[in-house]
Amino acid sequence: MTWRPRLVALDVDGTLVDHENVMSPAVHEAVNALRDQGMEIVISTGRAVPGVLNCADKLGFEGYAIASNGALVISYRPVEILHAVTFDASEAVHRIVERIPEALVAVEEIGVGYRVSAPFPSGEINGTITVQEIDDLVAEPVTRVVIRAPERSVDEFHRLAGELGLEDTNYYVGYTAWLDIAPPGVSKASGLQVLCDRLDVDVADVLAVGDGNNDLEMLKWAGRGVAMGQGPDELKAVADAVTDPVEADGLATELRRYL
């Protein structure tokens, strides 16, 4: 392959780290080798800022990140918010809670953690966690909302999202009964475009790798979009290539093409 990226946008969970939040030595080595060659490595994740920093610490360098599925563009460390998009999530949240009364609701508190309606399962969200009433959670515009119902199925969440419409938001259903709600028009791709404009990088010079539904726009947008092997079929359908699963260090396999 003669093409080489100037900017490399990497999803975290299922791409940079496995589902136990472990980064393999092969992935660590490949990412740092590209950075040593002058490529801009950008973490691009649905995680909030504390989760970004957790991954950044594993990589061992400073740089830029797209957080909260594109609602935040940051540089680190120290953390500086370069771009933020908020929205009124109250109507969408109340519609969902009417259908799933036991649903857990979390809204991001930028750079701090989350405000939640009740505690989430251990390890699923990080940073400082504060419990509040749902009305208080969505009283002001937010960058991101997470809906979680551990006793429900992923299929139920897909049906719910479709039935409710949620036209005034951008939403993603995760591998578990997890629904991410973002501002309309916001995605990892939109956040990366903001950063590329800032860094004067053409989209044709961007490599993006991810494994989830929230990576679909990013892979379609990038000059080269690569899906992880364990990703859903709809993601693979829009990707330029499919690499090995995270358990087989699929990210390292793709990145070694450019060494």
The CATH number linked to 59 is 3.40.50.1000
pLDDT at residue 249 in the model: 98
Domain boundary among 136, 154, 182: 182
pLDDT at residue 55 in the model: 97
Residues 149 and 95 reside in one and the same domain: yes
Residues 96 and 164 reside in one and the same domain: yes
Give 183-224 as a DSSP string: -TT--HHHHHHHHHHHHT--GGGEEEEE-SGGGHHHHHHSSE
pLDDT at residue 101 in the model: 93
Residues 208 and 177 reside in one and the same domain: no
The CATH number linked to 127 is 3.30.1240.10
In a domain, residue 70? The reply is yes
Q: What is the pLDDT of residues 168-197, one digit of tens each?
A: 567 777 767 888 888 889 999 999 999 999
Burial label, 135 (beta-carbon count in 10 A; 0-12, 13-18, 19+): exposed
Tokens at 167, concatenated: 């036209």
Burial label, 175 (beta-carbon count in 10 A; 0-12, 13-18, 19+): middle
How many Å apart are CA 166 and CA 171, to the nearest integer?
Answer: 8
Tokens at 209, concatenated: 């790798």
In a domain, residue 2? The reply is no
In a domain, residue 1? The reply is no
Residues 105 and 172 reside in one and the same domain: yes
Residues 217 and 95 reside in one and the same domain: no
Domain boundary among 124, 149, 182: 182
CB-based contact 175:59 (threshold 8 Å): no
The residue range of the domain holding 103 is 90-182
Residues 113 and 236 reside in one and the same domain: no
Residues 97 and 135 reside in one and the same domain: yes
Question: What's this model's pTM, rounded to 2 decimal places?
Answer: 0.91
Residues 151 and 80 reside in one and the same domain: no
In a domain, residue 245? The reply is yes
Q: Which residues of the chain have pLDDT under 50?
A: none
Q: How many domains does the chain have?
A: 2
pLDDT at residue 167 in the model: 56
| Alpha-carbon distance values, 7 to 78, 142, 250 (Å) | 21, 29, 19
Residues 177 and 240 reside in one and the same domain: no
